[in-house]
Amino acid sequence: MRSEDLSIAFIGGGNMASALVSGLAGKLCPIGNIHVVEVNDDLREAWRARGASVSAEPDEALANCQVWVYAVKPQVMKAVAIATEPFLRDSLVISIAAGIRAADLARWLSATRLVRCMPNTPSLIGAGISGLAALPGTPDADRELAGQILASVGEVVWVQEESQLDGVTALSGSGPAYVFLMIEALIEGGLAVGLDAAQSRALALATMSGATRLAAESNELPSLLRERVTSKGGTTAAALAVMEQDGFKATVVRAMQAAADRAHEMGDEFGN
């Protein structure tokens, strides 16, 4: 399919929908081929100003779109799916709602072509990563197209079992919050050891960014990179000893398990 022939509907026009459209517009799909269903008046006007067609409620425009992207909160997904189902013909359905299982969404929509995705907030600047899983029987061409859409805002990782998306949610979906918390801690630590706020922020951000880039571009394991920074009896060793004593890594693992458990619970809670 030529990009100028592809039409995409976004059900929900918030931040993640905006990020995806910014990534794919002009590449996979012209902005004029995008239809957005959004209840908020201001957001609808913003989409209209960008050149997309808009509606406050599901309408026949949905029936003409080859791809539907559900970008609404999981708490309202069932109601939204039921409201949009009458307009579904043979479109590829993509869901970016946390916790909502593919089988439940497929049941509400009577859909057979469905890909469930878990993007993260760095997608807002084109630096995201998304986990994807397809409903069994979804054609390879649909998988490829869904991957291309999510790749417009960052990297993509396919998982074999949909249940693994709970782990994706715990790692990369919630992960930016863990990183932001670490940045907060580094800034507070900088203040505690005598640096001012501007110095602490600049040093913390550059350290996190630089270390992540080094890990990404190196062929060595993060554990080896850590060891190379850590001289016996030195300053880094002293700091890491405190972290080890306080169970830093174990705390992160427990936190991720809590996030994965909550993602599973949300599937049960909102999938009835």
The answer to the question of whether 99 is labelled as a binding residue is: no
Residue 16 annotated as lining a ligand binding site? yes
Only one residue has tokens 């501007």, namely 198
Cross-strand bridge partners of residue 155: 129
Is 64 annotated to bind ligand? no
The kind and range of the H/E element at 247 are none
The answer to the question of whether 272 is labelled as a binding residue is no
Which value, in Å, is the radius of gyration of the alpha carbons in the chain? 21
d(CA 47, CA 58): 16
In order of 137, 187, 247, 255, the CA distances from 241 in angstroms are 51, 20, 10, 21
Residue 8 marked in a binding site: no
Which helix or strand (DSSP H or E) is residue 71 part of?
Answer: none
Q: Is 154 annotated as a binding residue?
A: no
* DSSP-derived secondary structure letter, 90: S
Sign of CA dihedral 83, 84, 89, 92: negative
Residues annotated within the binding site for NADP(+) are 11-16, 71-74
Residues annotated within the binding site are 11-16, 71-74
